[in-house]
Amino acid sequence: MNLLPKSSKEFGQKDYWDSFFKKRGNQAFEWYGEYPELCNQLHKYIKPKDHVLVVGCGNSVLGNDLYDVGYKNITSIDISNVAIRQMNNLNEKRRPEMKFLQMDATNMSFPDNSFTAIIDKGTLDALMPDNLEDTLQTINKYFSEMIRVLKTGGRYICISLLQEQILNILVNYFPSHNCMFRIVRCFEAEKNAADAGESPMPVFVIICTKFLSLPSKILELSLAGNDKMQRIAQEEDLIKQISSAQQAAFVCSGLKNSNISDDNISFDMFLPNDDKPRYTVFVTDIPPNRKNMQYAAFIVPQGRETEWMFSTIDGRKELASMSKCNRLAVVIMHRNQVYESLDAVKVELEDCVRNLAPATIGTDKILFLSLGADVGERILRFEGTSKFSGNYVVEDVTIDDDKFRRLFYLSSQSVIQSEAKLKRSKSRSGNEKETIDVTYLNCEHHIYISRAVAMSIKDKSAGKCLIIGLGGGGLCSFLRKYLQQLDITAVDIDADMLKIAVDWFDLSLGDKMHVEIKDGIQYLAENGTKYDNIVFDVDSKDQTIGMSCPPKEFLEDKVISDVVRSLTSNGLFIVNIVLRDNKLRPGVVKSLQKHFKLVVSYKLEHDLNEIFLCFNYDVAIEKIREQFSASGKEINQFFKKHKNTKLINNIIGDSLILSH
């Protein structure tokens, strides 16, 4: 029998509820959980000596259960005569002190200050299906009655799903009427719904405590469902946190019985009373295979989260395939958090990852996967704020047996801005210390830039190179070591980057290593020097256009004309292009081809980087491929000499393509 209303408006109508309870007979109907799921919260705010009013009781047995455990002074009201008659018949002998009265909660006949506690279990949700003017007037009368009949120090306790219009009116009304306002998430009620095979939505207990006056608004929240309350400064912040929890629950509910075609489902997980995320969880589905596991969680060790396998959609899908898992929850750990051990992390995550599992997993134990037996290591070395890049951090991470130093802009925490390998070396005093290994290129796109630079000065006893974009100085330091005849000028608009490069990435300035703190475009416009190669390796701060490198203004006609003017007759322009929107590529190629006779590129296999090589002299692409291949062999020899075998394996092919 379908007992749901045809339209939500019916929830507020007396005739609907009379009809509803006639159809159900004496079978209890419980909104948002029963007494066992709610008692922990109710007992905190209602004591046996309280005078309790239950508004909109229907035929719920919540009041009966409270009576049976010692709450004898309970009055229940409902707008429906049918419901009140049923409850009187059911309880007149077993619970003689309970009172059941037919009454409209928006116009009660009780004297002022009659009760020390009011329980509203789903009644507000029923009264407010929308925020139309008539509904708002009804709710204001309802709230006014709650305040009127409550004694000072009394509590209005509302159990609700907190739909948007209901949350907004609660937050706006009670704190402005001298009530301390608290919201607690009731996980027990949600779990009970899930165990019953229903789609659980967050259930909240709202506690409004009446005072004669308050010096300021008191807003508190516990989304963890425990005694740890978070004091919230603004109503907007409270609404935002509730909304985020509801959205996450909605998505989790949908994931139970459906697959996702794209990896666009992710959650930030927080500890109670902490506004910084502790984990980010990505949910990845691949085409189901009966031979695969249904579901598992993969914990990414600290420091590995930026790798292609974990930081990209395609990478996570590949990881799910390799793990033979139809659905994989990929868990990233955040900086500025302490993780005791891998086992401790698993315990913390168990409930979270179960909520993301398909319904078919049932009560099976969730399998956790990782790359090793520990959580990895991340050490903060320095943090600061740049005028141009905002907040940034320098940190050391350990991966397998190697240690790396990284620069991150906190505006894009998943992108490594600069990275260098650390090595142990002895100082003049004989003590060991950590230094940067300048012979090791961690960024793969820098390998291909270095090959192009080497190719362009192959037959020269000296060469001049201009690099726009210093970053941590890793590319500059490598080129100084690899191509010792090269005279390098790096230009960066941000003085902080020079300080970081020198203090934390061991950039050594000298006769053949110069840094200019200046706008790169302005430097090119004023430049009077000719360079054998000019490199653009500068990131964009504008995340709205789909191009991360370089900023779009660096590819405008005037800038490229200045590049051409600043190159020698057989000079080479090298530009690192990173496109998040590949539809922009034809425009980029057209802009370069407008100024250069030949434009070729190398697309990295596991990154968005594409290195463009632009020539303004007559040369066949076959010749360029031959020279580029030769420079690859030479850089391999350099890596072998310095025992950097891992990077040798990262050089995959020499497939320069002619750009169209």
Q: Which of 408, 436, 464 is the last residue of a domain?
A: 436
362 and 408 assigned to the same domain: no
Two structure tokens written together for 125: 């949700």
Residues 32-65: tens digit of each pLDDT: 677 888 888 899 999 999 999 999 988 888 899 9
User: Does 267 share its domain with 307?
Assistant: yes
Question: Considering the domain boundaries, does residue 599 fall inside one?
Answer: yes
pLDDT band at 2 (very low <50, low <70, confident <90, very high): very low
- The CATH number given to whatever domain includes residue 608 is 3.40.50.150
Tell whether 117 is covered by a domain.
yes
Q: What is the dihedral of CA 349, 351, 355, 361, to 10 degrees?
A: 100
Give the pLDDT confidence score for residue 5 in this predicted structure. Answer: 38
Run of H or E including 266:
strand 265-269
Label residue 346 by pLDDT band (50, 70, 90). Answer: very high
Give the strand pairing for 150-160 and 115-121. Answer: parallel
Residue 568 backbone phi and psi in degrees, to 5: -65, 170
Residues 423 and 561 in one domain: no
Residue 461: enclosing H or E segment and its boundaries?
Answer: none
In this predicted model, what pLDDT tens digit does every residue of 353-365 receive, in sequence order? 888 888 888 777 8
Nearest CA to 326 out of 364, 368, 365, 283 is that of 283
How much is the pLDDT for 142?
A: 96
118 domain-assigned: yes
Q: How far apart are CA 489 and CA 500, in angstroms?
A: 17
Closest CA to 3 of 84, 58, 65: 58
Q: CB within 8 A of 622, min separation 6: which ones?
A: none
CA dihedral sign of residues 396, 399, 403, 407: negative
Are both 181 and 317 inside the same structural domain?
no
- Sole residue written with tokens 């009373």: 273
The 3-state secondary structure of 498-530 reads HHHHHHHCCCCCECCEEEEECCHHHHHHHCCCC
* Dihedral over alpha carbons 318, 323, 324, 328 (to 10 degrees): -80
459 and 563 assigned to the same domain: yes
427 in a domain, yes or no? yes
User: Of all helices (H) and strands (E), which one includes residue 646?
Assistant: helix 645-650
| DSSP 3-state of 429 | coil
In the DSSP assignment, the letter for residue 9 is G
Residue type, 156: Y
Section 523-544 average pLDDT: 90
Q: What's the mean per-residue pLDDT of the chain?
A: 86
**8 belongs to a structural domain:** no
Identify whether 86 is part of a domain: no
Residue 504 confidence class, pLDDT cut points 50, 70, 90: very high
Where a domain ends, among 187, 218, 250? 250
How many independent structural domains does the chain possess? 4
Q: Do the Cβ atoms of 319 and 298 come closer than 8 Å? A: yes
Regarding whether 387 and 282 lie in a shared domain, the answer is no
Give the CA distances from residue 521 to residues 472, 518, 535, 540, 634, in Å, rounded to whole numbers and listed in that order. Answer: 20, 9, 13, 13, 33
Give the containing element (helix H, strand E) for 35. helix 35-45
Dig out the tokens for 73 from the structure: 């002074």
Same domain, 301 and 397: no
**Other beta carbons less than 10 A from residue 399's beta carbon:** 16
Write phi, then psi, for 348 (nearest 5 degrees): -60, -35
| The pLDDT of residue 264 | 66
Residue whose token pair is 């080497």? 454
Task: Output the CA–CA distances (angstroms, integers) from residue 394 to 368, 439, 469, in the order listed.
Answer: 30, 20, 18
Q: Where are the alpha helices (DSSP H) in 594-644?
A: 621-641
Contact call for residues 202 and 245 (beta carbons, < 8 A)? yes
pLDDT surpasses 70 at 266: yes
In a shared domain, residues 387 and 365: no
Return the structure tokens found at 184.
Answer: 């607690």
Q: Is 566 helix (H, G, I), strand (E, B) or coil?
A: helix
**What is the rounded distance in angstroms from the CA atom of residue 219 to the CA atom of residue 234?**
8
Tell me which DSSP letter residue 50 carries. S
Length of the chain: 660
Give the DSSP per-residue string, 462-507: -EEEEEE--TTSHHHHHHHHH-TTEEEEEEES-HHHHHHHHHHS--
Q: Is the pLDDT of residue 112 over 70?
A: yes
CATH code of the domain in which 211 resides: 3.40.50
589 touches 599 (CB < 8 A): yes
Residue 599 identity: V
Domain interval for residue 452: 444-658
Q: Check whether 450 has a pLDDT greater than 70.
A: yes
pLDDT for the residue numbered 114: 96
**Per-residue pLDDT tens digits for 189-215:** 777 666 665 556 788 999 999 999 999
**pLDDT of the residue at 23:** 54
In a domain? residue 52: no
Strands (E), 270-417: 279-285, 293-300, 325-333, 367-370, 377-386, 390-399, 402-409
Q: Is residue 64, in this structure, part of any structural domain at all? A: no
**How far are the Cα atoms of 107, 331, 353 from residue 117, in angstroms, in the given order?**
18, 43, 38
Q: Residue range 513-526: average pLDDT?
A: 95
**Statement to judge: residues 114 and 237 lie in one domain:** yes
How many Å apart are CA 607 and CA 139, to the nearest integer? 55
Query: Residue 190 has what pLDDT?
Result: 74
Same domain, 402 and 288: no
Same domain, residue pair 456 and 563:
yes
Phi, psi of 307 (to 5 degrees): -70, 150
Q: Are residues 235 and 121 in the same domain?
A: yes
Contact 646, 440 (CB under 8 A): no
Q: What is the pLDDT of residues 291-323, one digit of tens each?
A: 999 999 999 999 888 888 888 888 899 999 999
Please say which residue of 229, 250, 271 terminates a domain: 250
The first and second tokens of residue 420, run together, are 């260098």
N- to C-terminal Cα distance for the chain? Answer: 65
pLDDT above 90 (res 452)? yes
